[in-house]
Amino acid sequence: MRAWAPAKVNLFLEALGRRADGYHDLATLMVAVSLYDTLDFREVSGSSRAGEVRLECDWPELSTGPDNLVYRAAELVRRVAGVKVGAHITLRKRIPLAAGLAGGSSDAAATLAGLNRLWRLGWGPAELARLGAELGSDVPFFFFTPAAWCTGRGEVVQPLPLGKPLDLVLTGPPVGLATKDVVRALTVPSVPRDGAEMCRAVQAGDLPEVGRLLFNRLQAPAEGLCPAVARLHARLADLGPLGALMSGSGSTVFALCRGPAQAQSIARALRSQREDGGLARVSVVRSCD
């Protein structure tokens, strides 16, 4: 079984307040995009490792033990379903780490979905999303793509239709940002910004309006921690897209383009430029269908 795990971007992200459990209540509009990790699943039975989860990854810096979300997702499925056989999972990473693109959360969601199908468990999206919320705030979103308005910690998901496909250029510095560091530097506003206009613009396919309304409350604290985010954001804005924004807690920034031709043009302009001693990451993507 092979699963494709898409990245996501946040078109809107507001912090509403700190919760008693230490998290923040958020309001965010997320869109899945065509930058994918892939996961291959194989059932393991009839051997000395029949009851184990084994995870391999082509990024040596990423742990493949019990602290990995893919590993945790597989063990959660086995425990809840009472499955006795094991699984061999091969993860091929293309979504950068600590980039605000929810690669780990998407991989976890793909693991829940992949093993649900491999082991014929018959769980629907709502059940998979409930399990996903035990693993991370962004995991439930990936069962309701391509776009959704998410509240609570991010785990309360209201799917939204996309009126038009979104063509985007993603870029980021060679270094990532830890969400906990960005959130620690966050100042929650006394009057939160309302995202209702953004939801309407996305559903109507009004791309210029979507570009005008792009907003991320975490961008200012992220730029304070990593000035390269601010430089890349300014560079993108200077290239004339409909809008530019940081995704999630960073360090990825993206440009919303008028179409595929402008996306390719902006990507070419970025690929030859260096950032803090290394080439900036650049990907041309489209919202998932």
Instruction: Tell me whether residue 111 is exposed, middle or buried, using C-beta atoms within 10 angstroms of its C-beta: 0 to 12, 13 to 18, 19 or more.
Output: buried
Please pick, among 37, 93, 107, 138, the residue that the annotation labels catalytic. Answer: 138
Please pick, among 8, 37, 93, 107, the residue that the annotation labels catalytic. Answer: 8
Q: Which two tokens stand for residue 104?
A: 């780990």
Q: Are 5 and 90 in contact (CB under 8 A)?
A: no
Distances (CA, A) of 71 to 60, 107, 154, 214, 267: 15, 10, 22, 35, 35
- 84 part of the active site: no
- Give Cα 266 distance to the centre of its chain: 22
Helix (H, G, I), strand (E, B) or coil at 128: helix
CB neighbour list of residue 163: distance below 8 Å, 6 or more residues apart: 202, 203, 204, 205, 206
Q: Which two tokens stand for residue 256?
A: 């919303």
CB neighbour list of residue 232: distance below 8 Å, 6 or more residues apart: 171, 172, 173, 253, 275, 280
- 164 part of the active site: no
Among the listed residues 202, 139, 171, 185, the one whose alpha carbon sits nearest the alpha carbon of residue 266: 171
Task: Give me the active site residues, please.
Answer: 8, 138
